[in-house]
Structure formats: structure tokens, C-alpha cells
A and B are shown apart, each in its own frame.
Chain A
Amino acid sequence: MQWETVIGLEVHTQLTTQSKIFSGASIAFGAEPNTQACAVDLALPGVLPVLNKGAVERAIKFGLAIGAKLNRVNLFARKNYFYPDLPKGYQISQFELPIVEGGALTIQVGDESKTVRLTRAHLEEDAGKSLHEDFHGMTGIDLNRAGTPLLEIVSEPDMRSAKEAVAYAKALHNLVTWIGICDGNMQEGSFRVDANVSVRPVGQQEFGTRREIKNLNSFRFLEQAIDYEVRWQIEQIEDGHKIQQATVLFDPDTGETRMMRTKEEAHDYRYFPDPDLLPVKLDDELIAQMQGELPELPQAKQARYQKDYLLSAYDAGLLTQSLAHANYFEAALKILNADDLMVGAKHVANWMNGELASALNKADLSIAQSPISPDSLAGLLKRSADNTLNAKLAKEVFAAMWAGEGEADAIIEAKGLKQMSDSGEIEKIIDEVLAANQKSVEEFRAGKDKAFNALVGQVMKASKGKANPAQVNDLLKQKLAG
């Protein structure tokens, strides 16, 4: 039987506010345990939550960026359950009436373009951390993360393969970092993905029973986990078993998913509107302000690059894969200040998507971590554009720049990599070479073409490879003819 995979993602994005969603404590990563937990985060008796406006503003920006409906009145609710790293015994989240509803995101898989619909995005607070190691049979609780603002972004089950799921997750990651509402740091948990996965026979209308893979913190794990899960579910069904709705965890070491709890064991969260918080009202002014603060979005920028610079969709797509890429591109192009903008843009794109991308990739660095700044790259491209460097020399200079040896001009100078194009200087070398190689001159005049090449080689050698080879040819011919 042919099977079809159905995937929907729930992504928890940590918002880039200074302080927590309901308290004034800092959300900076990596502090000593419990040093960033104030009375409100500890849920001391009597404390109350106060909503951080910055979190609301970021949610509005997201809603606008995906063309969603913003609920002008949205509500916070309590999700009740007991866990040691949930200090209040409930999580403040949005249930009925989330801040963002609907919207869509376009993804690219190979040459195919596809639209993934979003169900909703709602604000909520993160829990703390339970630390099970190092406490000798006891559990340590770190509440630094408790109360960190999250926007949980829920998609429709519109994806049909792990590749599509990854493409969607990457597009979402690009968008939230692009508009500055999330730093996107997956190692630190700023962007965490839960995947709802089910399979059904091709052609069947209704969905199969889904299992939810929790807390995937890399795109690679997302792909591996879904691939494994899909194989597992198909095997189960083909072996005559039914899939039970469940929550599972992915183990990166074994590459397998394993059951955490079934639906029967799921909590009754007893959601109800939080009486400590008033309904959130969004006014036109705030929405307009957020709209005004949104930068040009990735898809719009890609289209503009194609149109204004005549770049290919492929090149423009790579340059808009993140805001950092686009910023790098635009900064380099500006410094380069090319006479022909389209030639300049193509030049920058080729270098960014070629040499630079491959060096970054090899060193496992992001564009933001590039040791070569856009200014520096433009400096190199200038020397290539004005014929100071040929292609081979340019790569050599790039390698030296990557190694931290300085700016292009300084490297060219220090290594003497500049082409020698001064005819006087070249003539002087030719004269010396001809004087020292009378035998070859005579052979040439006797009709031996090979002798000419030997002389060129001698001149190049004497110039230490810097002489412009075309000029050497011309000048040598003139001299020998004269």
C-alpha cells in the first residue's frame, strides 16, 4: 500500500523581550540557577502577574507578517497542572481567543513552492527547568526560565514529508528572526519544535491517528525524528496494529522515538480565564505602529532582488535565507559602489553564495559570525573588478583574509600579489632576460617557436609571477621583432 504522511508543527519561539512576560526579571540565558527568578516567578504567596507589553507587540508583528487575523480582544487563561518547575501550579497561556489566528507561510522544497496555513499563535509563559543530574537522587529546580515569554505558533496539518516540515520550520525560523521577535538560537531553546505526525493510505480523506514528537531542537533532529516516526507508524499499521494517540520523545542517540504518555494519561488542564489579568485589547494605533516597525519581509525582498538586480530566484533565495544574509549582501553592495549595479550585485552574490558560503559551511559558522565583514569582502571585490587581481589571485587573497591576515589591499601589498601592468617595468625585465638569454633569442630568430615560450617563462619568473601575462606576450613580440 502507498502511504501519505501528514504533519503539523507546533513551534515555541522565545520572544526577544528584556524581561519576563509577567514579571520584571531578566530573561538573559545562562545565569546561575535561580538568580533570575523574582517573587512573581517563584510564585510566592500574594504575587500577581503583569503583562509585558513587549511580548504583545512581538506577537502583533508576527500576526502582521503572516497575514493573520489579530484578535482585538484576546484572553489569558490558566492551564492547571502540578509539576515542580511550574511554580504556580498553572501555566498562564492563551486558550480561547489567542492573539493571532490564521495566516500562512510559503515554503520552497526543491523547485516546488507550497503554502502552509497557520492555525493560531498564542502568548504564554515558559516553565522552569528540572535538573535530574548532580543531585544524588533528588531533583534540582532552576526557575530562571520560568515566565520567559513564548509565542507558540501552530500550523495546520499541511505538510506531507519531513522535507516539507523542515522547509516550513526553516522558513518560520527565518521569519521570526527576520522581524526580530526571536533570536532563533536553537541550542538555547529559543526555537523548539513539536511535530504532530500521522500516516494514511494515499487517497484517504480522513487523517490517521497522530503522535506528537516533543521538543525537537534542531532541523536535523526534526527530519530524523519524522522519518523514523513515519516508518514506525507504517510498520505498526502493516503489522495489523492501531496507532494510539500519544506524546513521544526523540532520542538523537538511537535515532528513535519513544512513548512518553498516551492520550488516556493526558491531563485535564481545567483551563479558565485568568482572573488576575484583564482581557488584552489591541488598538489600531499600536497595530499601525507595529506595522511601521516591520522590515521588508523575506519574500518581498527576494522578489525585489530578482527584479532590481536581475538575480536568479536561486541566488535571491539564498541571499534572503536570513536577515543577516540580506544585510550582508546589501552592505557589501553599497561599499562596492559599482558603476553597474547589476554587475556589482551579481558579483557580490557569486562570492557570497560561492566562496564565502563554502568557507562558512566548512567552518560551521553562520553569516553573522563570518570573519570577513561585508566591508572587507567589498574591498576584495573592488580589486577583482579593477583587474588588480585575476580570479586565481582573488581566491588567494580571500584565503588570506579568511585566515585573518588583514584587508585585501594590505594582503595584496604585503604578498606582492598585484599584477604588474606597468609596461616600462615589464620592458626592463624583458631587456634583462633577453640580454641574459642570447641563445634563446637566436633560436627564436632561427624559427624555433618553443624558444618564445621559454623566454615568456623567464620573464614571468623574473617578475615573480606578478607580470600581466598578456602584456608580457605583447611586449616580448615587439622586442623580438624590433
Chain B
Amino acid sequence: MIHASLKQLSALLAEQKTSSVELCTEYLDRIAALNPTLNAFITVDRDRTLAEAKIADARRGQGEAGALLGVPIAHKDIFCTEGWLTTCGSKMLANFVSPYDAHVISQFKAAGMPSLGKTNMDEFAMGSSNETSYFGPVKNPWDLKAVPGGSSGGAAACVAARLAPAATGTDTGGSIRQPAALCGITGLKPTYGVCSRYGMIAFASSLDQAGPMAGSAEDCALLLNVMAGFDSRDSTSLQRDKEDYARDLDKPLQGLKLGLPKEFFGAGMAPDVAQAVEAAIAEYRKLGAETVEVSLPNMNLSVPVYYVLAPAEASSNLSRFDGVRYGHRAADYGDLTDMYERSRAEGFGAEVKRRILIGTYVLSHGYYDAYYIQAQRLRRLIAQDFIEAFKQCDVILGPTAPTTAFDLGAKNADPVQMYLSDIYTIAVNLAGLPGMSLPCGFGADGRPIGLQLIGNYFAEARMLNVAHQYQLATDWHSRTPEGL
């Protein structure tokens, strides 16, 4: 049952061949057995999960028949979940039990999907390897020496190892897509504003977006149907008609124009990644797609632009963690300033501090115009590049990450090298576009490779269609790591 898709699980539940309690028990047992090795979860609470499963079973017993009613899911520990520890991977919030549910969490609760627990992540979603988590790194299920990617590393690893059939993630610069690629699963970042950010602990507000992570594009479509929707509590949430993201899955790809940005295919991409992406392009041509070369001339600016804007917003967003009302407060302190300094020095890890410092610097008097304003200007140019590119194609295709998963510890000494692992994903957040990653092969080291699709604004359904057709023709997404 653990290898079943969401659709299959839903059918088993509908046919009463299993119950939500049974299903959750099986996953919980698997978590109990494997999480000590993988460290994909920060919090597991068997009783709570089973209580939620019982409610789902009772709802089904009363004749309710939601598409995912009773199917469990794991939530990234960035989502506030009422009554659960919500740590955001940080010592700062190691003791924080949320008194309320994030909008995304309420949506899953309303759909009757029990929570299997809270997944590990880079501290405050700042990282690309899950190594900045206060709760220790997550191991890549394909190779325990490798990182799972980040920041949604726990989510990606738990889906890859089938500790959960699905998980939520968040993506600020690639935090869903890059770990999905490195762990060989499918993950989608929607258009900015499609999923409410209410209750999702903010890293960089203008870039953060929640999305689904699962075994296939089809599963992601079903999950997005639950997650997406207007929420009046988030001013950046978009008021749009409810749509069925699975509606176009079965459309053939004849006539599809796939855009290949030349900037994606230059130096920097590892040969095995390049080979796998080329093979995927060949597969798409077989499926009836045409390819067109497009250009994103300002792509090379996306990493520096991102590392001005995201830290700027983060430096302000993280000011609320001051030890006054909740979270970590230093045990010993003198005056007020000392309390702030010690609480924050103790509560935040090195990467978070680095970004707070960068952000504070770029917003400071005398530097603001040169950094923040300039970065905003360039951000608009980057978005404009995509708008131009989409005049020539329907969906953009390229690699998700330049390499397969790297070894734990390999990039810790060099933040810039770490930042460059998001080079293909960051521009998508800057432009606010939807993007996804799906498995397209394995590297020389046997670690998974991800293919990135980028859609036009609100073209999630089209993007999912393009991914699904590929997954009908290939089986990369149904491979699972051995030995687990």
C-alpha cells in the first residue's frame, strides 16, 4: 500500500478495502522504523494522527466522499498547526506550540486528510541542503551520505522513502523543486498568490509560496485542488474562481511548444544532468511537442537579486522572534538590549544570522538605493524576460538543479556554492511564476535528477498536463530507493 498513488489510496478507502486508521498506522509504523535513520520528521504524534484518522473514517462512514478523505499527509514544520509543535527548524521556536492552523492546514483538515507529523527543514527555510536545521540534517533516502536538498528536505525525503504518500512544502527560491529533484519526487510551486500564506511562517514574503510534494504530477494536481484558494487573511492571496488542476492531465501534447532557455543549457550544468534533461526533451518530441529556443537574458542576475531581496524581507520578518512573547529567551540577561541580543544569538543558527545581517545591511540608510531599489528594478527585468519568453512557448523546460544531490557537509564551508544550487529555480520565484520538478533519470552516482517545468502565470493545469504525459510515458517517478 505504501507505493500506492493518492488516487489509488483514495479508491481503496472508497471501496472500504482499508481505513484511514489502518493507512495511518502503516505509515506511522514505517516512520517509527525509518525516521531515526532519515530524520525527515521533527514531530510525530501517533495519538493525534490516529485521532484525525478516526474522524476521517467517521466522515466517510456518514457518506462523505471527498477525493482525498482519509488519505494522510505530512506537513512541513513551517506551517502553523494548532496544538502541534511548530518549530520552523529553529531553536528559536523549538518550544512553540501553535494556537492556530495555517490556511493550508485548515484546507487539508477540511478535506479530511490526517497529518502524519511535521517534517524537517532548513532553519526558517534558509538553506538548500537541510543542514541548517536545528534538529539535524535529513538524509537522502537514495543515498544516506547525500543531502536531500532544501529547504523542504524532510518533506522530499519522507515522500521518497514512502514515510508519507504526500507532503506540503514551501518554495521561496526553489525549496520545493530542488529537494524534489534531489530526492526523485514530484513537487510544484504555484503562481504567487494561489495558496494563502496565512499561518506559513514568513521567510521572504514576496517570494514564499506553498505547494504540494508527492509521487507524481497527478498526485500534485489533487493536492493543489485542496491547497489553492482565496483567503481574505492574506492580502496577497488572489481572488480567482476555483479550478480543477487535474482537468487537463489527459490532454495529448501535440502542438505543445516547449521553451528551452539557452541560459539554462550553458556551463554549470553537470554532464549527467544535461544528458538526462536532453533525454527528457527527446521524450517530449516523441510525445508531439515542439521545442523552441528562448532567452532569459537577465537570468544570471537572479541569484544576486534574490540574495538582496530575500534577506531584506527576512531581516524584518524575523524581528518578531525577540524572546518577549514566545519562543526562545536567554536564561541569563542584563537589560532589555542584552535580552534581545542573547535570545537571538542563541535562538538563531549561523545561516539565519548571515541572512539577517545581509538584509539589515541592504536596507540601511545609504545602502538602500544601491541594493534594495536596484534589486527591485532588476527583479522586474527578470519577470519581463519570462513574459517575453512565453510569447514564444507554452511551458519552459530545463534542469531543476545543476547537479544531483551533493554529499552532506560538502558545501557548508562556502555559502555562495550553496546558493548556486538554486540557480535554475530562483528566477521563477522572482517572477512569481509556477514551476515544478519531476524525476527524469539518475546521475552517475545513482542519485535522482529533476526536470524543471515553468508555466506562465496561472498555467498550473497546463504544466501538470505536460508533466503527467511525461510520467505516463516514463517510469522515473515510480522508482523508489532500495533498502528502505
Contacts and interface: CB of A to CB of B under 8 A. Distances in A.
Interface of A: 39, 42-51, 78, 80, 82, 84, 87-90, 139, 141, 268, 270-272, 275-278
Contact of B100 (A44, A80, A272, A278): A44
Contacts of B100: 39, 44
B316 A90 contact: yes
B235 A48 contact: yes
Given A45-B86, A45-B98, A82 B340 contact: yes
A87 B324 CA distance: 8
B360 interface: yes
B363 A80 contact: yes
Interface string B68-112: 000000000001100000101000010010111010000000000
Interface string B304-347: 00000000110110111110111000000000100010000000
B325 A42 contact: yes
Nearest to B206: A275
Interface in B203-219: 204-206
Closest 6 CB pairs of A and B: A89-B319, A270-B363, A275-B206, A275-B205, A46-B199, A43-B320
Contacts of B233: 48, 50
A268 B320 CA distance: 18
B232 interface: yes
Contacts of A268: 364-365
Contacts of B86: 45
B392 interface: no
Contacts, number: 96
B440 interface: no
Interface residues of B, number: 44
B234 interface: yes
Contacts of B322: 82, 84, 89
Nearest to B232: A50
B236 interface: yes
B419 interface: no
- Name A's interface SS: loop
Contacts of B313: 275
Contact of A45 (B316, B320, B324, B360): B320
Given A46-B102, A51-B235, A272 B312 contact: yes
A416 to B, nearest CB: 67
B198 interface: yes
A141 B324 contact: yes
A90 B236 CA distance: 19
Nearest to A139: B336
27 contacts: A44-B80, A44-B100, A45-B80, A45-B88, A45-B96, A45-B201, A46-B197, A47-B199, A48-B197, A48-B233, A48-B234, A48-B235, A80-B316, A82-B319, A82-B340, A84-B336, A87-B320, A87-B324, A87-B325, A89-B322, A90-B319, A141-B325, A270-B364, A275-B205, A277-B235, A278-B235, A278-B236
Nearest to A34: B325
Contacts of B324: 84, 87, 141
Contacts of A88: 319-320
Contact of A49 (B88, B235, B363): B235
Contacts of B319: 80, 82, 88-90
A275 B312 CA distance: 11
A210 B364 CA distance: 24
Given A46-B80, A51-B235, A270-B315, 19 more contacts: A44-B98, A46-B79, A48-B202, A48-B234, A49-B235, A50-B232, A50-B234, A87-B320, A89-B316, A89-B318, A89-B319, A139-B336, A268-B365, A270-B360, A270-B365, A270-B368, A271-B363, A272-B312, A272-B363
B357 to A, nearest CB: 13
Contacts of B235: 48-51, 276-278
Contacts of B199: 46-47
B386 interface: no
B311 to A, nearest CB: 12
A129 to B, nearest CB: 14
A88 B319 CA distance: 6
Nearest to A37: B325
A52 to B, nearest CB: 12
Contacts of A82: 319, 322, 340
B200 interface: yes
B372 interface: yes
B102 to A, nearest CB: 6
Most chain B CB within a 10 A radius of its CB, from A45, A46, A82: A45
Nearest to B79: A46
Contacts of B201: 45-46
A87 B325 CA distance: 8
Contacts of A47: 198-199
Contacts of B312: 272
Output the residue of A48, A268, A277, A278 with the most chain B CB within 10 A.
A48
Contacts of B316: 78, 80, 89-90, 270, 272
Contacts of B96: 45
Contacts of A90: 316, 319
A90 B100 CA distance: 22
Contacts of B232: 50
A185 B99 CA distance: 35
A90 B202 CA distance: 14
B363 to A, nearest CB: 4
A95 to B, nearest CB: 11
A47 B102 CA distance: 9
Nearest to B196: A48
A264 B472 CA distance: 66
Nearest to A85: B324
A98 to B, nearest CB: 18
Nearest to B90: A45
Contacts of A270: 315-316, 360, 363-365, 368
Interface in B356-388: 360, 363-365, 368, 372
B93 to A, nearest CB: 7
A138 to B, nearest CB: 11
Q: Which of B236, B318, B325 has the most CB of A within 10 A?
A: B325
A78 B200 CA distance: 20
A443 B30 CA distance: 130
Contacts of A49: 235
A50 to B, nearest CB: 5
Nearest to B359: A270
Contact of A272 (B321, B325, B368): B368
A410 B301 CA distance: 87
